[in-house]
Structure formats: C-alpha cells, structure tokens
Structure 1
Amino acid sequence: MPNASGAAAIAGRVPFALMERKHVLEIRDEIRSTAGAQNEVVKVISAMFGWAVDAGVAAVNPALRIKRLYSGDGFHSWTVDEFEAYKAKHASGTKARLALYLAMFTGLRREDLSIVGKQHVKAGWLTIRPGKTEKKTGVIVELPILPILQAEIDAGAAGAMTFLESEWKRPFTVNTLGNKMRDWCDQAGLTECSLHGLRKLGASIAAENGATDEELMAIYGWVTKAQSTHYTKKARRKLIAGRAAHKLLFTPEQKMDEVVPPDQAVEESGAKTEEKPNKISA
C-alpha cells in the first residue's frame, strides 16, 4: 500500500484555504489503494472541511460531491442454503443457533447483538437504539419478537444479562462476538459468512416477500431509502423477470415463420413430383 509521504507533500504545498477538488483526489489516490479505503479518505476530509466552513475558517468544502468509488457489495450475503447448512451444524438450544436467529430475525448489527437482552423486550416487542446511529439520528428500532426467535430464546442458551454470553457467563464484546461467529461459521464450512451477512439476507428475503422501503427502514433503523431501495429494486427485478421469463419462448405464430427444408415441406404437403424415365442412349 502506498505510504503517506507523497500525500503529505501534496497537502504541505497547498494552504488548506486553497485546497481544491483535484487536491482531495490526489490525496485520496496516494494514501490508499482500495476503493473502500479511498472513499473513507474523502469522507474524513469532507467532515473536516465541513467543520471548518461552519466555524468560518474555510469558505468552501472541496470534498463535497466527489463521487464514491464502487467498492463492491461489501460483506457476503448469506444464501438460504448457507442458512440451512449452519442450522444443520448447530442444533437448537446452542449459543450458535441463538446467534443465528437473533441476527436474522432482528436485523441488529454486531455491536447491538452483543448487548441486547431481556431488558430490551417488553410485551413481546424488542426496543433498542442502534449504536451506529445513536449520535447521528437517534432512531429507535421497535419490532416484535417473532415466534421462531422466541422459541430459540426459550430453548436454554440465552444468558441472564444479555441473550448472547461467553463461556464465562459474561456478555461478548463486539470483537469477541465476531470471532466466535467466525468459529461457528467455519465449523459449518461457511468460510465467507459473517453476522453482517445475515442482516443482508434478512433484508433480501423481506424485500422478496413484498416489504416496502418504509417497512425495511423501520426494521433495520435506516432513516433514508438509500439502503432499502437496493433490496426492493433487486426484489422487484427478480419478480418482474419471473413473470416475464416465459416470453422468451416461441409462440405458435413465431413457429409458423420458421424456414422449412424443401424435402420436409414436400413430405408434409403429400404432393408428389412426376418421375421422368431415364433416357437410354442407343
């Protein structure tokens, strides 16, 4: 990965008040080599200049409206087959199965799964303020505990303080929960799967089952349609393709336009040509 010395030289030659879009792009491309990391560089610079503009230190934010680089779909999204393979490996009543169901049927991120417990449930409803958006939007997620999840909570693996506890009866940290899920997935032969990928599977399944943008936003704590439309549009495309696929088949009218070989045409029409006798030369 490129070092930061080149970027430092670029920034050092340009007073911050004179920084332009091209300078931000130079810094982005110099100090990071992958699209996701380069996007983060622009994000940090934009936040810094956003503060500077508000404070009257700078006149403009040169990082605004720089198009994000495509960095792929991020975490691998589980498939239904992978979900079933994990279930086959980890039986009901185990912490591994409970983690699977909590992630799938609440849509919570890892940092929230590490703290969620009975204190967040009242009258069959889960209420929690997601850690990621606590300071940004303050949105609160409220959703019912589905019967399939409640049955697994009651199966015996849930802890007293938090639903997911370590072997020492203590809540997992964010990192230790991630590491433990990594072990559970590896035991099932699912080397590409992660907790966050279950969140993506859940959103995909919900969208394919007809969930609207607003419904996905309520479940996953999103405050804009930027994330939800990714799933609803994909689900609609699949639905539309399913309804339209039969249109690829030939219709009877189109079959009539096929070119028929002459021999086959004669055979099908039943017409016979008169046979001329061969001439024999004397």
Structure 2
Amino acid sequence: MVTLKLKYVHEDVDRHGNVRIYFRRRKGAPKIRIQECPGTEAFSKRYHELLAASEAPPVPPTSLNRTPTPGTYRWLCVSYFGSPAFRLLDPSTQRTRRRVLESTFQEPVFPGAKEAFADFPLARITTRVLKVLRDRKADLPGAASDRVKAIRAAFKWALEDELIANNPARDLAKLPLSGTGWHTWTLEEVAQFEKRHPIGTKARLALALFMWTGVRRSDVVLLGKQHARDGWHRFTQYKNRNRKPIIHETPILDVLQEVIDASPTGDLTYLVTAYDRPFTAAGFGNWFRERCNEAGLTGCSAHGLRKAAAASAAENGATSSQLMAIFGWMTLAEAERYTKAARRKKMAGEAMGKLIRTK
C-alpha cells in the first residue's frame, strides 16, 4: 500500500510490522531502499537524488561483472570492500560507502567522455579528476559530502596498503553545507506532542527516552531493562561499536523512570512493534514519524529531539565535556555548537538593556 504521495515511492510492511520505503522507477526495475525518515530534509534529498539518477541518460556501459582490471579506480574500490579496514566499519557505514562508491563506477570521467570511472587508470587520477565526482552532486551537498568521505577513505586505505604511491583524495574538500540540518524541537512542540500522547502510551515513552537519555535512534531501539542497574543506564553505543566502542552511562532521571513504570514495554527492549518485537532503526523512524504527524508536528523528527535535549542542557549550564558524556560525542566540535549558542543567548539577554540610553 502506498501512502506517500510521491512518484515511484512504495511502502512495504514486513512480517514484523516494520514499514520499509522503496523507490522504483518502473516495473521490473530494482527496488532501492530509502532509509531516511519521510517528512525530513534527508528523505527529500535522497528521493530527489534517486529521481535525478533514474532520469539521467544512460552512460556508455562498463562491464561490471568481470574481475576489475588491476590499477583502475574500480579495482581500488573493490579491493577496499574486501579489506579489514572496511569490514571493521559498522554495517550501516559499509552499506553507505559501498553504495556511494559503486554509484560512481559508470559515470563518465568528464562530460561527454566515453571513458567511465570504473576502468580509469589510477595513474591518471588527480584531485581535479575526483572533484568531478564531488561536483556532480553540488545541488545535493549532503550527497556530495558522502562521496568525499567514501572516496577519501578508500584512497587513504589504498595509500596505507601501498596500492598507490600518492593520495589524490587527500586535498578533496567537502562542499559547504547549507542550513542547520534537522529541525530542533521547541518546548511548545514537545508540549504539543505530550498533549496528544499522554503518559502510558508507547509514543510518550519514546519521547521520554530521547529527551532524558540523549541516545541516538540506533540506540533507543536497543535500550531495555537489562541496561538499567542501580539507577543508571549502561550500554555500548551502536555507532562506531566495531571501531571505537563507547560505553554510554547516564543516571535514570525520576521523570524518565515515571514514564517507564507507567508504560507497556518489551522484555528485551523498552520499545516494541505491534507484534511485540524490537524495532529496526528505520522501522522505528517511520513509526515515530507517524506519531509526530498525529500530533500535528509534520516538521519534527526523532533526531530533532536529541538536538533539543542538547540545546536545553547547554542553556542550563552544561559544559562541552558534560555534553560529550551525555550524548556520546567523540570530539568537542559537536558539543561546542550547543555551548557557544547557549553563551550567545545568555550574553544577548544580559546585554539587551544596554541598547537603551539611560541619559
């Protein structure tokens, strides 16, 4: 059944009750999974990216079924996919990087050129050549950034493994991103959601877990009673769990415990589907999107709740180091976005009176 009013977008419900969204241009064409949450900027970006790709004229074909020719761009990428460095990445990161790199194989090296990237010799690849791949996504800065990250990672590995003598991707810069990303919930929007979904509902439990734990969507679907001990939640974060695992430890606030005690929960996870099974991260995102729509919050998302919690903590005086501990960030940069914004707001409030002349 299709409830999204977008061309070529289809919804499937699996046996666990998870809604999966696919893009398929025509009957018989492969279905492409859309992982992003409907109604978000990321979903719109991904949809238009797939739409544009499906409308693009065919590129002179390259035989991708045969073994890659050694010393070519595709050979480097395929070698990277089989490397220990790639296998240590989180499964979701592996899927993204593979998809991004494979999507470049049949693109022409330059506009109008017959040569595709797949068989292009590594000896002829320069930073300028790689900029062609990046700049083809200039109208979708997020997709351009994904290309830069994937290409940088592959070439960095190839240099370390001595497949290449120099790294042309080292100086490949990302395009500047516009906007502020996911919408940060306001206090009024939180109150509107709470009014529609009172304590005792699954939706209110999901809201409370985001607001009072600081976890990501990939963690909230795994969090359960077995992670609670002596008034604290303790678990290994899903993100980077293979490369740089981070133990997340935060006290269970009374406001959160009150909601948990009053809510139906699963045995291994607090949040479960209608079939009493744990959510997948994507399935939960779609389910929570519907709960937001029910509350009239079409512009709000689960990730935006995490941003709201961080902004609230910063405005209440949390330091950058404290925010890193709560939200599991590995660098100061992300935390300082919130602490600097909070300081600006506080200084503006203290200084506004100085605009008025006293004499």
TM norm. shorter chain > 0.5: yes
Q: Please name the residue that 1:258 is paired with.
A: none
Q: Does 1:33 align with 2:135?
A: no
**Contact 1:7 1:31 (8 Å CA) reproduced:** no
**Contact 2:138 2:175 (8 Å CA) reproduced:** no
Question: Pairwise CA RMSD of aligned residues?
Answer: 1.8
Q: Please name the residue that 2:247 is paired with.
A: 140
Shift of 1:58: 1.3
Q: Does 1:96 align with 2:203?
A: yes
Q: Please name the residue that 2:190 is paired with.
A: 83
Shift of 1:12: 6.0
Deviates more, 1:74-83 or 1:58-67: 58-67
| SS of equivalent to 1:156 | coil
Shift of 1:20: 2.0
Gaps spanning 5+ residues in structure 1: where?
A: 253-282
Q: In 1, distance between residues paired with 2:280 and 2:163?
A: 40
Over 3 Å counting, the alpha-carbon distance change for 1:250 and 1:10 in structure 2 is farther
* CA deviation string 1:173-215 (max 9, x = no partner): 1122111101110000000111111000000000111111100
Please tell me whether Structure 1 or Structure 2 has the larger radius of gyration of its CA atoms: 1
Shift of 1:32: 6.2
Give the aligned residue type for 1:67.
A
* CA deviation string 1:255-279 (max 9, x = no partner): xxxxxxxxxxxxxxxxxxxxxxxxx
Shift of 1:11: 3.4
* CA deviation string 1:12-68 (max 9, x = no partner): 685223422211111111256300100110111101101100111112222224333
| SS of equivalent to 1:157 | coil
Q: Please name the residue that 1:207 is paired with.
A: 314
Which of the residues 304, 320, 330 maps onto 1:197? 304
| SS of equivalent to 1:245 | helix
Q: Please name the residue that 1:186 is paired with.
A: 293
Q: In 1, distance between residues paired with 2:220 and 2:236?
A: 12
Which of the residues 26, 42, 48 maps onto 2:148? 42
Q: Please name the residue that 1:6 is paired with.
A: 108
- Written as runs of structure 1 = structure 2, the 5 A alignment for 1:236-255 is 236-252=343-359
**Contact 2:185 2:307 (8 Å CA) reproduced:** yes
Q: Does 1:110 align with 2:217?
A: yes
Over 3 Å counting, the alpha-carbon distance change for 1:136 and 1:77 in structure 2 is farther
Q: Please name the residue that 2:281 is paired with.
A: 174
**Contact 2:159 2:166 (8 Å CA) reproduced:** yes
The alignment's TM-score, normalised by the length of structure 2, stands at 0.67
| SS of equivalent to 1:77 | coil
Q: Please name the residue that 2:342 is paired with.
A: 235
Taking only the aligned residue pairs, the percentage that are identical comes to: 43
Q: In 1, distance between residues paired with 2:118 and 2:205?
A: 53
Over 3 Å counting, the alpha-carbon distance change for 1:80 and 1:119 in structure 2 is same
Paired positions, count: 252
Shift of 1:133: 2.0
Deviates more, 1:128-137 or 1:176-185: 128-137
Give the aligned residue type for 2:156.
G
Give the aligned residue type for 2:133.
I
Give the aligned residue type for 2:314.
A
Q: Please name the residue that 2:76 is paired with.
A: none
Q: Please name the residue that 1:256 is paired with.
A: none
**Contact 2:217 2:302 (8 Å CA) reproduced:** yes
Q: Please name the residue that 1:55 is paired with.
A: 161
Deviates more, 1:213-222 or 1:4-13: 4-13
Q: In 1, distance between residues paired with 2:119 and 2:202?
A: 56
**Contact 1:11 1:27 (8 Å CA) reproduced:** no
Which of the residues 329, 332, 348 maps onto 1:222? 329
Shift of 1:132: 1.2
Q: In 1, distance between residues paired with 2:171 and 2:257?
A: 45
Shift of 1:107: 1.3
Q: In 2, distance between residues paired with 1:204 and 1:65?
A: 34
Give the aligned residue type for 1:231.
Y
Q: In 2, distance between residues paired with 1:10 and 1:33?
A: 22
Which of the residues 120, 123, 126 maps onto 1:17? 123
Give the aligned residue type for 1:175.
A
Q: In 2, distance between residues paired with 1:170 and 1:15?
A: 49
The alignment's TM-score, normalised by the length of structure 1, stands at 0.84
**Contact 1:94 1:157 (8 Å CA) reproduced:** yes
Over 3 Å counting, the alpha-carbon distance change for 1:10 and 1:29 in structure 2 is farther
Q: In 2, distance between residues paired with 1:235 and 1:7?
A: 46
Q: In 2, distance between residues paired with 1:171 and 1:103?
A: 17
Q: Please name the residue that 2:267 is paired with.
A: 160
Give the aligned residue type for 1:69.
L
